[in-house]
Amino acid sequence: MARLQSDRFPLKAPLLAGLGVAAALIAGVAALTWLAGGPAPTVSASADINGQPDVLASAEIASEHEAGPAPFSDAQTEEVSLPGVRDTADALSPQEASPSSLSPAEPVAPPAPLEGFYETGPGGPLPIINASGVRPDQAYAMDFDGAADVPTVSIIVGGLGLSESLTARAIEALPAEVTLSFAPYADDLQTWINRARADGHEVLLELPMEPFDYPNNDPGPHTLLVDASATENARRLAWLLSRTAGYVGVANYLGARLGAAEGPLTELFTALEARGLSIFHDGAGRRAILSQAGRQANARMTIADRVVDSDPTPRAIDGRLLELEALALQNGTALGSGFAYPATVDTVAAWADGLEGRGYQLAPASFLMQLRNPVETRSASAAQDTADAASPSADPHGDTH
């Protein structure tokens, strides 16, 4: 029986002896290290990446005599960041940008107002048709080399000027062909508009109009009202229009109740046409009444086909933009309006990037207006007659001033 056990484990004794020697050596090294007061042994991994110091990672085995983490190497002086991490952090951080901090290298358009296209109003320059019959919606339109036979989509993004960060984001992120619409109550409004025009954007001025639930839902001071007198609405309109200069036309802000009142709406459209301004309406109201008021005023007016962000989610916005493509293919033109939500800005910018490859053109609002309501149908003399009718001398009651 003992013979069998010895044959089965012939290396047992040598292995035990070897382990004993190794243990003795380890104990000796540890004793020498302790007596010498040296540091505990460190296990580390290092790599040289693009010439950086070879301290990529280090983990120290702490001894019972040391406390606290091991310090990083002093040689690591540069911040290490993965590509895109800093950009993402900056994008998520709240940043406010003033109009003066945005300076294009080569401005596309000069600052407004242009000489000959304004008169003095209660708050600043009021737009007028110039002595040669050129309208402000022509003078302030951006050059666009588009074709009339290509399906055309225009987008108006509004609500700008009240938030500095959203306004700066819209100006910089959206293609120049997207028209930007500004609230009349914004601080530094002229600076913002000059900045947007310098980047190539056409701009509109928003007019606050009475909604059905006014005054619980109040668009702001100088709101145009259904029950206000013509004189009072004219005063309010003059204040709003003279807040800034450089816009090709106006867009409504709210206004479903006014949009359903043909009489006051016709008066408003007549006054805007007399000043040579285009009118863009988002359709809040009765479309038949809006169209009838536009015809009675002989105004350059058009109605948006879709509000692209009534559901302000990227998927829903994409769906509305696809609807605009279908309408442009069917009718030749399509107009969408939206608000400067981050989702709207990002989705519209991504959609526009591939639009030309799908056989469409993204155009400023003035180009679409020209396709729908050509200004050539009105002679220069007729335009001047309209301007004369809007002048102070032709306004015996001083309603506009």
State how far the Cα of 174 lies from the Cα of 183, in Å rounded to an integer. 18
**196, 284, 280, 344 alpha-carbon torsion, rounded to 10°:** 30
For 21, phi and psi rounded to 5 degrees? -65, -45
User: Helical H runs in 227-341?
Assistant: 230-241, 262-274, 287-296, 314-331
pLDDT of residue 291 exceeding 60, the answer is yes
Residue 171 or residue 72, greater confidence: 171
Q: Tell me the average pLDDT of the chain.
A: 79
Report pLDDT for 375. 85
Query: E strand or H helix at 250, and its extent?
Result: strand 249-254
**Statement: residue 139 has pLDDT above 80:** yes
How confident is residue 321, by pLDDT bands cut at 50, 70 and 90?
A: very high
pTM tops 0.75, yes or no: no
Q: How confident is the model at residue 106 (pLDDT cuts 50, 70, 90)?
A: low
Q: How far apart are CA 214 and CA 226, in angstroms?
A: 11
State the Cα angle at 160 between 318 and 202, rounded to 5°: 80
Helix (H, G, I), strand (E, B) or coil at 328: helix
Asked whether residue 17 carries a pLDDT value surpassing 70, the answer given is: no
User: What does the pLDDT look like over 254-285, one tens digit per residue?
Assistant: 999 999 999 999 999 999 999 999 999 999 88
